[in-house]
Amino acid sequence: MLANELLRLEGSSLLGAPCSYCAEEPGLFRCLECHPERLSCKTCVLASHAALPFHRVEKWENKHFTALPLVDIEAVYHLGHDNTRCPHWKAPDPPAPPTCTPNPDAPPDDRPKKRPRHPQTSAADGHIVRIAHTNGFHHVRIGYCRCPNAPDHATQLLRARIFPGTLSKPRTAYTIALLSYFLTSTWESNLTAYDYAKILCRLTHSYCPEDIKSGYDNFRVVLRVWRDLQFRMRCGAFFDIPARLPPPYTNTMAVLCPGCPHPGINYDPAVKHRKIHCDTLTLAGDGNFRAVQKDKISDPADVHLRPGAAYFREDKAYHEYLATVGDEHEVPHLQPSTCTGLKAGDVLREGRYKNTKVSGVFSVICARHGFFRPDATVDLQKGERYSHTDYALAGALAGTQSIRRIVFIYDINCQYIRHVHERFKERFPHLTHIEFIEWLIPKMHLVGHKEDCQYLYSLNFTPGSGRVDGEQTERNWCGLNGAATSTREMNSAHRHEVMEDKQNEMNFKKMINLRTLCDIQRLAILLTQISCLCQRRPFKGRWVLL
């Protein structure tokens, strides 16, 4: 039954019947997007698709339906004037008279040959633009508005929700629906631009997709611009919202954690809460060695569209800092580890980073809610070194001098803090509150440390820690590692932009899910209260957003 019905879809029960709309001409056309069961004539197809240029139309000929682009039946997609012809369009020019009269008595080879007539792109015929939509590529004849005050072609396309491939005389464009769909697919399933371009070719012609030009080079440039525009729109940069924030958030485009204290935004240093956790900023740092970048020839013209304005620290200043610090092997106070074999921070493990320009990333996040901190992610060179951690932590601590209590959770804090005060005093003298930070180790990693560390750096023995486990960085890597297979092949600036876009989306999803988290915590506290009542014992807990 299923096979019969699928075969029935290849034809139509209305073949030979008149048009389903006007009933005057035979119905030979069908639209797969509108009503595939209805057959219509050419006139009705053009009338019904005046504002639907991206529908797939088929024509019945030679006992089967064949794909027929709308441009082949003289369809024109008019911009402005409610999708009707602009009144300032001119009539098509009449064909030019022949320059000479052929002699009928002359031999066939001596007669002047007629010059082939090329498709016109005048005001009467419109301009053919190759537009990519969610169902493939389309050649659409665009009828631009010709009014004296009409905007340029790129602006008219944008107002029709079509993103031009170029700003001057666009011949390639992409619908905003396609760009939004791709960006969402990238966030959720790590779809790459190359794979999506091949999908569009397959949707355009399922039997010969290799004959369809994907336009991948222009597509990835447009996607990069589109990603940056969406990034700026989300943070309100076009309304100067970041400029209204206090330092150091004046120029940031990152999604901030609404649950953490931000001086000047949701935290007043003059007000001291009775509960210590309300005045605590809990940070966690960790390295990710899957987010590598291959050592290959990079494009010298590749530039970051928002350098230092999101999650990665500004690349030029970072490399100047690394050049100033020098090789970690040459640091005089570098001493052997006093704890059990810790791999993080072992600068001698360089064999695994062959043929890589960047061996991973180090990020500082909010340990309670899992938000990536702005300006607190750096690239790693040949391992996870203290100099990398210092620079990322310095970015995360910017503007936190007035916060009452700061906790930093790191896998190897027992070794990292041995000379951290000296390093910060030398490299970041403005961060004087480094001496008051509490240093702890994540709960799962703490088991691998020696017994003394398990008491000195335990979250369980630290007041105000709640149920924070410090392992949120590992969970964040699960969401970020999906893009590692594509970002490892990119240039440095493009790689940072894609990773920042992924980090921003993860922060945004956490922000909109905080309400659900609060509801879960309220339910948990209610069940605990019920349990205490059933067991006839007092309830001593309190609801706290962790």
Can you spell out the DSSP letters for 396-453?
HTTT-TT-SEEEEEETTHHHHTTSHHHHHHHH-TT-GGGGG-EEE--HHHHTTS-HHH
Using the predicted structure, report yes or no on whether residue 247 has a pLDDT greater than 70: yes
Peptide bond into 36 cis (omega under 30): no
**d(Cα 236, Cα 247) in Å, to the nearest integer?**
17
CA atoms within 13 A on the CB side of 47: 7
Using the predicted structure, report yes or no on whether residue 181 has a pLDDT greater than 90: yes
Average pLDDT of the chain, as a whole number = 85
> pLDDT by residue (tens digit) across 107-165?
555 444 443 333 444 434 678 999 999 999 999 999 999 999 999 999 999 999 999 99
| Average pLDDT estimate for 349-361 | 79
CB 389 within 8 A of CB 367: no
Using the predicted structure, report yes or no on whether residue 330 has a pLDDT greater than 70: no
| Average pLDDT estimate for 80-90 | 86
- The predicted pLDDT at position 64 comes to 87
**d(Cα 329, Cα 385) in Å, to the nearest integer?**
10
Three-state SS at 30: strand
- The predicted pLDDT at position 107 comes to 54
- The predicted pLDDT at position 104 comes to 56
Q: How large a percentage of the chain has pLDDT more than 70? A: 84
| Average pLDDT estimate for 173-187 | 96
Three-state SS at 77: strand
| Res. 93 pLDDT band, cuts 50 70 90 | very low
Three-state SS at 214: coil
Using the predicted structure, report yes or no on whether residue 24 has a pLDDT greater than 90: no
- The predicted pLDDT at position 119 comes to 43
- The predicted pLDDT at position 225 comes to 96
CB 259 within 8 A of CB 545: yes
| Token couple for 46 | 């053009």
Q: How far is CA 514 from the centre of its chain?
A: 21
Q: Are strands 280-288 and 405-410 parallel, antiparallel or unpaired?
A: parallel
For the sheet containing 57-61, what is the strand order? Answer: 29-31, 57-61, 64-67
Which run of H or of E encompasses 48?
helix 42-48
Which run of H or of E encompasses 66?
strand 64-67
**d(Cα 260, Cα 400) in Å, to the nearest integer?**
11
CB-CB neighbours of 251 under 10 Å: 16
Is pLDDT larger for residue 531 or for residue 143?
143
| Average pLDDT estimate for 400-423 | 93
**DSSP letter, residue 120:** P
- Residue whose C-alpha is closest to residue 122's, from 149, 97, 98, 95: 95
- The predicted pLDDT at position 335 comes to 60
> pLDDT by residue (tens digit) across 450-499?
989 999 999 999 988 888 999 999 999 999 999 998 999 999 999 999 99
| Res. 251 pLDDT band, cuts 50 70 90 | confident
Strand partners, 132: 137, 174
Phi, psi of 26 (to 5 degrees): -65, 140
**DSSP letter, residue 164:** E
Please give the model's pTM, rounded to 2 decimal places: 0.85
**d(Cα 469, Cα 447) in Å, to the nearest integer?**
12
**d(Cα 227, Cα 224) in Å, to the nearest integer?**
5
Using the predicted structure, report yes or no on whether residue 546 has a pLDDT greater than 50: no
Is pLDDT larger for residue 228 or for residue 10?
228
- The predicted pLDDT at position 273 comes to 81
| Res. 5 pLDDT band, cuts 50 70 90 | confident
Q: Cα dist. 151→142, 145, 158, 355 in Å?
A: 15, 8, 11, 50
Q: Are strands 64-67 and 136-143 parallel, antiparallel or unpaired?
A: unpaired
**d(Cα 248, Cα 401) in Å, to the nearest integer?**
11
Phi, psi of 406 (to 5 degrees): -130, 135
- The predicted pLDDT at position 206 comes to 86
**b/e sequence 28-67, b meaning 16+ C-beta within 10 Å:** bbbbeebeeebbbbbebbbebbbeebbbbbbbbeeeebee
Three-state SS at 490: coil
**b/e sequence 164-201, b meaning 16+ C-beta within 10 Å:** bbeeeebebbbbeebbeebbeebbeebbbbeebbbbbb
